[in-house]
Every structure is written in C-alpha cells, then in structure tokens.
Amino acid sequence: GSSRTHSLTSLTLTHCLLLRHLPLDINQGRLTALDHTIQKKTSVPHTTRHTTTNTSHIKMKIIEKILKIRSERALPGAVEPPPAPTVQPYFSFEFFPPKTEAGLDNLYERIDRMKDLEPLFIDVTWGAGGKTERETLSIASYAQQYCGLDVLMHLTCTGLSKEAVRSALEAARDAGVHNILALRGDAGKGQSAWAPHPQGFKNATELVRFIREEFGDHFGIAVAGHPEGHIEGEGVDKDL
C-alpha cells in the first residue's frame, strides 16, 4: 500500500509538519473549477474569487525548494547545508478531492485562505483507477495558477494502463504541475489484494522509471518510504 512518508530523491520530509485531511464544510461554495476537463488540458478553473493568474510565483521542484532553504539557513563558511531546518520547520498541506461540487467549491475557498500560512507545498491525492483525475488536476491547476502554491500531485498504478498513466502525466504537465508522488496504490474497491493492470505497472519503481523515460527531468518525483520494510517485501536487505 502507499505510505504517508514522502521521500524526495535522497531526502525525506519526515521533519516537516504535515497537516492533513482537514474537515470540509460543504455549505459554503463560491469557486468552481469543474470546467477543467482532461480533453481540454490547457483550460484553467473558472473562479469568482480570482480573475488573473498569479504570475509572481516561480514554480519549482520541491526538492529544489528544500535544498534552497537549507542553503539559505546554513551557517557562514559551512561546507554543507544543515540536515534539518535550523530556524523553523517547513510544512505542507494535503487535500483530497471532495465527492460533491459543493465540497469542491468549499475546498477552493479553504486553499485560498490557507495559502496565507505559506506552506512549502501542498499535495493533492489521486483516486484509485483515476476516478478523481479531473478533480485532482483541477485542484492542482487552481492552487498553482491562482494561489501561487507548488503542488505535489499523487499518481497511483492502481487500475491504470501505461497509456492512461501517460495521458494523466501529460495533463499534469500541461496544467503546470512539476512534482509527482509516484505510488503503487492500494487495492481497488472490492479487491481483497492489490493486482496490477494487465497493461500497467507492477510497482512504483516501474512507474518512476516510466516517468523519467517519457518526461525526462520535467517532474520532481517523490515516492513512499517504508523505513521498516514494505509489508509485502522479503525483508529490508532485499528491499534495498
């Protein structure tokens, strides 16, 4: 299954304060972004709050942001940046696509307010089989283009062929996403155990390799970390 510990290249975010799954009040809806479709990959969410794109924010790979912060916090004359924040921790927010349009409207309002807390990034989850693809991409696009936030978009292997994954990644790239959390994913609804799509990937390693081969260095790729070994693995030594 997928772990909640994010690893970015050789660095992890275990020192970050991750605030997740905030309760959503679906009674307040102002913003709508459901007009973003997979067929219309370059479209951006329509909102009543924002009318212009946030052009002051330069999109970055999250690992580059972490290294930049560590370098800025290093002591004068230090050869290497400190291994952890020396002034204050950085943190992220995680959001999952609501099931209703009212809930989605409310989520945009929450993101608009919570951006003022200046998280290092936000991450947006992905439904098994790509069932939330439209909403996930719409949330990611809105957060980046209107709120000036860097987004880490989840992507799982569950229920997806290689072509479906390629299409999702193309849509993410066109929406301005520069960071992907590559996951195998959990078993689909009604399944007792996880199984790969016949034309898909067997694990996150294959997914990471595919992203690099097809999209080069465009995406910063994060993965799930299992410090005690994967539950389905043959042991830590074998995993390594």
In the 3-class helix/strand/coil scheme, how is 55-120 assigned residue by residue? CCCCCCCHHHHHHHHHHHHCCCCCCCCCCCCCCCCCEEEEECCCCCHHHHHHHHHHHHHHHHHCCC
Beta-ladder partners of 82: none
Nearest 5°: the CA angle 138, 125, 105 is 45
User: What φ, ψ does residue 8 adopt, rounded to 5°?
Assistant: -110, 110
CB-neighbour burial class of residue 152 (10 A; exposed 0-12, middle 13-18, buried 19+): buried
Comparing CA positions, the residue from 95, 92, 91 lying closest to residue 108 is: 95
Tokens 């304060």 locate to 17
Q: How far is CA 160 from CA 22, 77, 118, 128, in A?
A: 28, 49, 34, 8
Tokens 């062929």 locate to 161
H-run or E-run covering 221: strand 220-224
Catalytic residue among 94, 163, 206, 228: 94
Give yes or no: 213 in active site.
no
Residues taking part in catalysis: 94
